[in-house]
Structure 1
Amino acid sequence: MKYIVFILFTVMTNAAAQLMLKQGMMSLGPISFEGTNPLLKLLQIVFSPWVFFGLCTFVISMASHLYVLSKVELSFAYPFLSLAYVAVAIFAYFVFREDLNSWRIAGIACICVGTVLIAQSGRGHEEETASLSSDKIHSEIVR
């Protein structure tokens, strides 16, 4: 649980990147590749300010996630990324006026409950790992 700050940073930067990408694509309008060079269109999309900063934020999020993966188990860290769905849904409601109906709220509640259960399982596992490590060290010293 001591790396939870880094996990939550990963989640929030991931969600922020999604919001920036959405803003960027809204500012570009509907995309059509007809009558234009697809490579030039792709470059226009990638280098539009909101999309570019969204992609940069994804890189930061990924770097943070790699750090987290070097410290905790994948089966503990990865499910926390589902909280990005929660953050995106809530921020999209306020920023883009997207619908937040009862089905979405129920889904958000399920994600939150699942994440809490995973966090609880990680706490017990860290204690087991710590006791196993100290037992192993003790047995090495006794030898």
Structure 2
Amino acid sequence: MALSTFAFLFSGVLCNAAAQLLLKAGVSTVGAIPVERAALVNAVWQVLIQWQVAAGLALYGIGVAVWIVGLSRIEVSVAYPMLSVGYVLNAVAASWLLGEMIGPMRVAGMLLILGGVLLVARS
């Protein structure tokens, strides 16, 4: 895989991971979203006016654009597993930024993910 292709794919993964963290930060200020119809509309509105949610959605858009450039340069069967790196990035960032716990089983799972992505990337 060419370095430029990897850079496009990894940039897309980073945008996606950052978007997830921003969405979580935005929705955390609102709290649990009710599923009852009467309260749902107000809750959705409260979520949508959070700047973190708007920024997260914008990053999703940027990430998709960058990802498409990467996909134009490599087979999808190689590119798609790269999204799994986002799981690892999000877990580490969520631990650092949001105080979420990463136990030994999660660490083992993340190492397996990284190993699998490495194998696919080198194939």
TM normalised by structure 1 equals 0.78
Moved more, 15-24 or 42-51: 42-51
Match in the other structure for 1:19: 21
Distance 1:110 1:86 in 2: 10
Report if the CA contact (8 A) 2:19-2:60 is conserved.
Answer: yes
- The equivalent residue for 1:118 is 120
Q: 1:78-93 to 2 correspondence within 5 Å?
A: 78-93=80-95
Structure 1 position 33, deviation (Å):
5.2
* Rounded Cα–Cα distance in structure 1 between residues aligned with 2:46 and 2:11: 29
Task: Give aligned pairs, total.
Answer: 121
For the residues of structure 1 that align with 2:35 and 2:103, how far apart are their CA atoms? 34
Q: Which is greater in Rg?
A: 1
Q: Superposed, which structure 2 residues align to 1:87-106 within 5 Å?
A: 87-106=89-108
Share of identical aligned residues, percent? Answer: 36
Structure 1, residues 6-44: CA drift from partner, whole Å, max 9, x if none? 111011111000100110011112223558463443233
Contact residue 33 and residue 41 of structure 1 kept, 8 A = no
| Alpha-carbon distance in 2 for matches of 1:72, 1:32 | 42
Letter in 1 for 2:104: S
TM-score (norm 2): 0.90
1:127 alignment counterpart: none
Work out the CA distance in 1 between the residues paired with 2:120 and 2:16: 20
Q: What residue ranges of structure 2 are gaps of 5+ in the alignment?
A: none
